[in-house]
Amino acid sequence: MPRSLYWPPNTRSMAVISSEPTDTLLKRPHPRPQPGAPPAMPTLVFASDSHLNKHYARMTPDQLAKRREYLRDGLEQTIDYAIGVGADLYVHGGDLFDGPNPRAVELIWAARQFKRLAEAGVRSYLIGGNHDIPKSRQFGATPQRLFQTMGVARVFTDSTRVEWDVAQIDGLRIAIGGLPPDPRLSPDDDPFAVLDEPIQAPEAEARILVTHYAVEGRLHPLASEATISHASIAAVSEQVDWLLVGHIHEATEMDIGGVRVLFPGPTERMSFGELDVRCGFAQLEIAPGPEHADDDRRIDGRSDGRTSVRRPRAVITGRHIHIDPQPMRRETLRAGDIPADDPTAWIVAHVRAVSAPDQILQLRLDGPLPRETYHQLRIRDVIAAGSDLNFFFDLDRRRLTVRDETAGLAPAATGGVERVSARAEIARVAATMAANAEDDVARSIIDEARALVLDRYAPMIVDDDVPEGATS
């Protein structure tokens, strides 16, 4: 197969980042690559799940702009690294963008990054993900196709069969295949089992397939989506050496039926549900395998008496490169520890002790709180203090309950404890005001105001405990 025309010839950069036997840590701002010898073997950098242009509904415009800078920085570190070590190949495993219609500023920025790779002689291969592929194939196109139109990347777009490209690097044939997710598949489908044609890799010493599907055993318990089974992966072991997988925000590597399966994790954490997620990307080094002599070389079934040399599969090794994400922290305060005397100052003191200017902080209040203490708590003051001390602050009261200690007032079924509800509190306060109104006119005004407020009040629900890969 001829070399693809999407990239200029590979000219290796004379710069490397020193190797560590364990994970390499790129801190923000990360150290610049230092001049050194080019890599001794073909090198591939694999990143995924950057979610550029992600929207956070509760952030101010300034916070959102800054947060998106962090998302871009995570991806940029992977590209800086690829150029710095003189990588030959760069692969992105989907969800480059958080949606199929990113803003122009994000597209332009990403285009510049892939242009940098192309100008450095690094070949880029991309697929879409479940976030940035349109749900209907009839309308729109994955935004990554722009980069193929520019001639700076090869984008695999066919979700019904695996497409392949072969790169010749240092005498090795490296086949890169891509299979983006098909939004039409049901949770009962195995993506490898429903393809229009079997997975058949071209002749090559290294065969690497990238996809953006869930894999059996790595799916979040709440998820229900098409999943590649272990049996399907093992069945392609004669065609695929390494399977590179995006989608699941968990950095790990495993062997399934002779296929090495690699998840790089995201380039930035997306929510409080990912507090324990390792961010980063992967580096693969591809070395020639040992040559085997064949003393009985045959042509048309007859020996010609000469020795031939068979080229075996390449030896591929991988490692995870860690990216230091934006600081994100969750603190939980037990409601039973909150004092009745000035609870606001007590909580603010705890917030102050764990705050940092560039941090995303969530304070979770958990458990039953006496109603009298609850009414002394100035929620707005807590939110204001947390917001002043952190990049972004979230006060999570979903697990906070109110304990009514006055005999006869608490519902028997709940044992005197009820979930905090802003709507219920509005209604309760309005009812108290109406009961104490001076006359029927004032009472009528309060009732109308209560009805209007409750009708227009829409409580915000933040599903922040479910990491990426939990839903399709």
11-25 per-position pLDDT tens digit: 333 233 333 333 444
Residue 128, exposed/middle/buried by CB under 10 A (0-12, 13-18, 19+)?
buried
Q: Averaged over 290-315, what is the pLDDT? A: 56
196-245 per-position pLDDT tens digit: 999 999 999 999 999 999 999 998 777 789 999 999 999 999 999 999 99
Say yes or no to pLDDT of 309 above 60.
Answer: no
What CA–CA distance (Å, rounded) separates 314 from 399?
A: 54
Of 2-16, 129-143, 443-457, the one with minimum mean pLDDT is 2-16
Q: Do the beta carbons of residue 6 and residue 302 sit within 8 Å?
A: no
If one compares 34 and 116, the residue with the highest pLDDT of the two is 116
pTM: 0.79
Note the CATH number of domain 15-323.
Answer: 3.60.21.10
Q: Averaged over 129-157, what is the pLDDT? A: 87
What was the pLDDT predicted at 24?
A: 43
Residues 6+ apart with CB under 8 A from 62: none
Token representation of residue 461? 């629900």
What CA–CA distance (Å, rounded) separates 268 from 95?
A: 12
What was the pLDDT predicted at 14?
A: 28
Say yes or no to pLDDT of 450 above 70.
Answer: yes
pLDDT tier for residue 117 given thresholds of 50, 70 and 90: very high
What CA–CA distance (Å, rounded) separates 102 from 26?
A: 27
DSSP classification of residue 197: S
Can you say how many angstroms the Cα of residue 44 is from the centroid of all Cα atoms in its chain?
Answer: 20
Domain ranges of the chain: 15-323, 328-420
Of 205-219, 230-244, 287-301, 429-443, the one with minimum mean pLDDT is 287-301
